[in-house]
Chains A and B, each alone.
Chain A
Amino acid sequence: MIGLPANRLFCILLLSLFIPAAVCGASVTRTLSTTEPGVGEVFVVSLSTDGIDLGGVVETLPAGYAFAGTDHPDDRVLVRGQKIGFAVMNETRITYTVTAPTSGSGDITGTWEDFLGETNGEIAPSHVAVDGIETDPEKSAEKPAAQEAASPFAVLAAVAALLIAGRGGRR
């Protein structure tokens, strides 16, 4: 049986685990179907956006890894190079797929904003490595297998990105 001081300590530890989440309100977490994909393997990335009614998430893939698709509505997704932007509109989960390169490792990083709650934060990085083999980040900018035959979506997104980039400010 745990003594009174130990009980208190246990409670404090429990509280310390839960309080930050409660104070921060919304936050986004990421899970991967695998962190060690095979060469050219398409793996699944899931983002939990519970608590964000209207917001956005921007994910950044490591060099060589390529966005392959998503079940998110296509008018709420924007791809620019290694970055993927998602407009969150009452979804609790966003799932997208990534094609692994022939080799390479790195972190998938992300940031989120809750527009209504007026909060934002970073998503904890998720490390991925093809076949579990770590590579020098300097040499890991290898083309992914899938990038050589990019999806029509990615091409379109790239065109849009160029148009946006060339538009300039209007104010």
Chain B
Amino acid sequence: MKRLLLALLLLLAVPASAAAGGIPGDADGDGVLTSGEYALAALAYLDAAYMGGAGDLDRTDIQDAAWVYARWDGKPREVVDSSGQTVTLYRPLRRVVTFTGESLETLRSLGFDMDRVVAVDKYSHEKKTFFPECQNKANVGSIWSPDMEKVISVRPDAVFLYATISTAACDDIQKRLEASSPVIRVFRFDCFKPATYADEIRTIASIVDAPERGEEFASFYESTMDRIRDGTGTIPDNEKTRVYFEYWFDYTTVAASAGYNEKTELAGGLNPFAVGTAEYPVVDPEAILVADPEVIVKLAGQGLAAGGYAGHDPEALAAIRSALIERPGWTTISAVKDGRIHVIHSDILGGAQHFIGTAYLAKWFYPDRFADLDPHAVHQRYLTEFQGIDFDLASKGTFVYP
């Protein structure tokens, strides 16, 4: 009888913790939802919902309590993001805002319920083919020009920002969010860097409680990247393939600090223009002739609109390639003489899909070493199995030429 009375009295205390922003149902507020507390929370909800009682727990509260009790062992989930900050979750994420397309794409790879993404950045919003489900979501602008009113209006419980790029803009957004609501959790992830992406996949999988899917996706990603690293890691510098990587703009290349250079080097390329502090330096045309690259890679994308997910247009990429060959003096370059000029779209090299583009680079640089690597198959599997979109590469999009 005493036990029952105690239980019923505890029932009265259940809503307090929910109101305080902790784990719903954690009646004593000690940060752990015990079996007894969960049971009382469930009864409090049933009482309010069906039995004429007047409890505070609503359906979302009890569903979140059940999630925490069943999947997080009744405890808050602590996550260290890529900026090094520890973020504590007391509930599963239900209303997510992403300011980065890479985080959004990674969430989709992890099977996250996209209905729980309530707003996205303007660039993801514009990608009608790749993110069709985001067309009706709120558009919160970009990290450089965020629509903070829109962000607050969608009542997010989590917002994703970059960790190591555009840090000033992202820091500012984070400060404004944290000042506006204590319940908004801000996560900082890049999701485009080869050095950190596998770990970020697993961490985000932990946030959305999809560890198995996270491991599956991280393993898929690592299988490609490890294959490339293993295939190029032992090549001495003096035997590496000399590569001229041209950015969207003519005679603009990538230097050591640029992400595209990192991928070029991962694929075993030796970039003669890697030195220098500028990320995307303009090079003297004569210097390219002197460097005599064995392979030339031209980037298409935002600054050189052609191909990508938006359109099936191999002719456009072919035209870009032809224009390169016709540049003054280029017929003397080894890459041109050997026909080793390739165009690649930034969709598969610059963001979360960088492993696909890097696989193409490796295959172009070392066709014999990577004879068994099939970037096209990797790409299709990624889209079908992990992104879950109906996109047949045989008839849609153009990403490389040739």
Binding site for B on A (CB under 8 A): 53-56, 58, 73-78, 80-81, 83, 85-89, 111, 113, 115-116, 118, 152-153, 156-157, 159-161, 163-165, 167-171
Given A75-B40, A89-B39, A116-B66, are A83 and B3 neighbors across the interface (CB < 8 Å)? Answer: no
B3 touches A167 (CB 8 A): no
B38 touches A89 (CB 8 A): yes
Determine which of A58, A75, A85 lies in contact with B3 in the assembled complex, contact meaning CB atoms within 8 Å: A75
Given A75-B36, A116-B70, are A58 and B46 neighbors across the interface (CB < 8 Å)? Answer: yes
In the assembly, what is the distance between CA of A55 and CA of B69, in Å? Answer: 12
Among listed B10-18, B278-286, B332-340, interface-contacting one = B10-18
In the assembly, what is the distance between CA of A163 and CA of B10, in Å? Answer: 12
A116 touches B67 (CB 8 A): yes
Determine which of A115, A152, A156, A160 lies in contact with B63 in the assembled complex, contact meaning CB atoms within 8 Å: A115
In the assembly, what is the distance between CA of A148 and CA of B129, in Å? Answer: 69
B56 touches A78 (CB 8 A): no
B50 touches A83 (CB 8 A): yes
B51 touches A116 (CB 8 A): no
Taking CB atoms, residues of chain B closer than 8 Å to A169 are: 54, 56
Q: Is the interface of A mostly helix, strand, loop or mixed?
A: mixed
B63 touches A87 (CB 8 A): no
Taking CB atoms, residues of chain B closer than 8 Å to A168 are: 54
Q: A58-B50, A80-B53 are in contact. List 6 more A-B contacts (CB 8 A).
A: A54-B38, A75-B3, A78-B47, A87-B43, A156-B4, A167-B55
A75 touches B4 (CB 8 A): yes
Taking CB atoms, residues of chain A closer than 8 Å to B7 are: 74-75
Task: Decide if B323 is an interface residue (CB 8 Å cutoff).
Answer: no
Instruction: Across the interface, name the chain A residue whose C-beta is closest to B15.
Output: A170
Instruction: Across the interface, name the chain B residue whose C-beta is closest to A110.
Output: B50
Q: Lowest 10 A-B CB distances belong to which pairs?
A: A115-B66, A87-B42, A160-B8, A85-B46, A54-B66, A75-B7, A58-B50, A80-B51, A78-B43, A83-B51
B12 touches A170 (CB 8 A): no
Determine which of A86, A115, A161 lies in contact with B62 in the assembled complex, contact meaning CB atoms within 8 Å: A115
Taking CB atoms, residues of chain A closer than 8 Å to B66 are: 54-55, 115-116
Cross-chain pairs A/B with CB under 8 angstroms, 20 sampled: A56-B45, A58-B50, A58-B51, A74-B3, A78-B51, A87-B38, A89-B35, A89-B38, A89-B42, A111-B50, A115-B42, A115-B67, A116-B67, A157-B8, A159-B8, A160-B12, A161-B51, A164-B44, A164-B55, A165-B52
Taking CB atoms, residues of chain A closer than 8 Å to B4 are: 74-75, 153, 156
In the assembly, what is the distance between CA of A56 and CA of B15, in Å? Answer: 18
Taking CB atoms, residues of chain A closer than 8 Å to B52 are: 80-81, 83, 165
Taking CB atoms, residues of chain A closer than 8 Å to B42 are: 54-56, 76, 87-89, 115
A164 touches B11 (CB 8 A): yes
Instruction: Across the interface, name the chain A residue whose C-beta is closest to B62.
Output: A115
B47 touches A164 (CB 8 A): yes
Given A87-B43, A152-B1, A156-B4, are A163 and B12 neighbors across the interface (CB < 8 Å)? Answer: yes
Task: Decide if B5 is an interface residue (CB 8 Å cutoff).
Answer: yes
B1 touches A87 (CB 8 A): no
Taking CB atoms, residues of chain B closer than 8 Å to A74 are: 3-4, 7
In the assembly, what is the distance between CA of A30 and CA of B33, in Å? Answer: 31
B51 touches A85 (CB 8 A): yes
Range of interface residues on chain B?
35 or more
A76 touches B43 (CB 8 A): yes
In the assembly, what is the distance between CA of A159 and CA of B47, in Å? Answer: 14
Instruction: Across the interface, name the chain B residue whose C-beta is closest to A83.
Output: B51
B46 touches A170 (CB 8 A): no
Q: How far is the CB of A46 from chain B (nearest CB, A)?
A: 19
Q: How far is the CB of A119 from chain B (nearest CB, A)?
A: 10
Task: Decide if B168 is an interface residue (CB 8 Å cutoff).
Answer: no
Task: Decide if B305 is an interface residue (CB 8 Å cutoff).
Answer: no
Instruction: Across the interface, name the chain B residue whose C-beta is closest to A169.
Output: B56
Q: How far is the CB of B287 from chain A (nearest CB, A)?
A: 61
Instruction: Across the interface, name the chain A residue whose C-beta is closest to B41.
Output: A87
Taking CB atoms, residues of chain B closer than 8 Å to A163 are: 8, 12
Given A116-B70, A160-B11, are A170 and B5 neighbors across the interface (CB < 8 Å)? Answer: no
A171 touches B12 (CB 8 A): no
B63 touches A118 (CB 8 A): yes
Instruction: Across the interface, name the chain A residue whose C-beta is closest to B69.
Output: A54
In the assembly, what is the distance between CA of A56 and CA of B40, in Å? Answer: 11
In the assembly, what is the distance between CA of A35 and CA of B70, in Å? Answer: 37
In the assembly, what is the distance between CA of A148 and CA of B360, in Å? Answer: 82
In the assembly, what is the distance between CA of A78 and CA of B55, in Å? Answer: 13
Q: How far is the CB of B386 from chain A (nearest CB, A)?
A: 24
B5 touches A167 (CB 8 A): no
- CB interface residues, B 33-89, toward A, < 8 Å: 35-36, 38-40, 42-47, 49-56, 59, 62-63, 65-67, 69-70
Q: How far is the CB of A165 from chain B (nearest CB, A)?
A: 6
Taking CB atoms, residues of chain A closer than 8 Å to B377 are: none
Instruction: Across the interface, name the chain B residue whose C-beta is closest to A152.
Output: B1
Determine which of B15, B39, B70 lies in contact with A53 in the assembled complex, contact meaning CB atoms within 8 Å: B70
B47 touches A85 (CB 8 A): yes
Task: Decide if B19 is an interface residue (CB 8 Å cutoff).
Answer: yes
Taking CB atoms, residues of chain B closer than 8 Å to A53 are: 70
Q: How far is the CB of B46 from chain A (nearest CB, A)?
A: 4
